[in-house]
Amino acid sequence: MAALGWLTPRRRSATARSVLAGEAAAEAARKTSAADDDSALLTGTSEEAPEEPAFPVAGDDRAAAFFDLDNTVMQGAAIFHFGRGLYKRKFFERRELTRFAWQQAWFRLAGVEDPEHMQDARDSALSIVKGHRVSELMSIGEEIYDEYMADRIWPGTRALAQAHLDAGQKVWLVTAAPVETATIIARRLALTGALGTVAESVDGVYTGRLVGEPLHGPAKAEAVRALAAAEGLDLDRCAAYSDSHNDIPMLSLVGHPYAINPDTKLRKYARARDWRLRDYRTGRKAAKVGIPAAAGVGALAGGTAAAVALHRRRR
């Protein structure tokens, strides 16, 4: 992705960089829209719960749905799975894989996005892809999705997205993961497209820098706002789904916010505002919306305990 006026953090305020990141993500998403109405739907097990008003509203072409990716649509973090795939292809050394393994272990155990850990992982990813062609990473990303991500999609969240598609609405992923990785996942799930972190490239080669900043927190809200304006959407009629309190700005932007597999802060915030909640990680009942709930979470991937032990020793 070519640069869109990228400036260093020292020359722009955090707010301005969030806007830049959001606008870059919206532009990239519109260029890589990947709708496919014929893809298969994953399903889970339905559980009875009190009825809710029908949503989404069929035929409302000014409404859309925005889904966070990590721990909302998919178990774990996409950037860590991507890192595992790159290590397998000898893009970097074992000591860097240990860092990725620890980040994945923390994310899976804590169930929340730690800004320091996420930033460290993104910096590592940028240094790894620097000098590589965008087309090369896209091709490898397709393989990595099949190897590490396909089996980690939450069926319940996938069904929620399908409900919006069946109602004739567009569905977008909104994630801090690289837009190329997010676009692959959106395409494989038959979603409309993806808003993600835009890495600068010149003549199709990554420079190792970002356009703006990672699409995280307020930047996600700016991306949704920019895309809604470009698509002619009414945000009051749109829905957003996330697991993290970091996404409260995005959730607060729409008329139909959902807390999915919420962390403690988001659960408390959502309950105080009577937002709808879904939790697909345990056997707890999920509120019925006319589509299936998901199965429980599987065991941690091999190596997690070792990564945690290594981190503790280093502390």
Query: Which two structure tokens, joined as six digits, stand for 231?
Result: 């698509």
Strand partners, 64: 170
- Both structure tokens of 53: 């008003």
How far is the C-alpha of 182 from the C-alpha of 311, rounded, in Å?
29
Q: Provide the token pair at 223.
A: 């991306």
Contact partners, residue 203, CB within 8 Å, separation at least 6 = none
**CA distance to 32, 97, 189, per residue, from 164 (Å):** 19, 37, 13
d(CA 90, CA 284): 41
- Read off the tokens for 63: 């409404």
Output the six-digit token pair for 196: 């993600």
Residues tagged active-site: 68, 70
Cα–Cα distance, 87 to 179 (Å, whole number)? 20
Residue pair 279/293 in contact by the 8 Å Cβ criterion? no
Contact in structure between 194 and 32 (CB atoms under 8 Å): yes
d(CA 131, CA 129): 6
Helices (H) and strands (E) in the chain, counts: 11, 8
How many residues in total does the chain contain? 315
Answer for the pair 280, 294: CB distance below 8 angstroms, yes or no: yes
Please name the residue that has the structure tokens 């069926």: 155
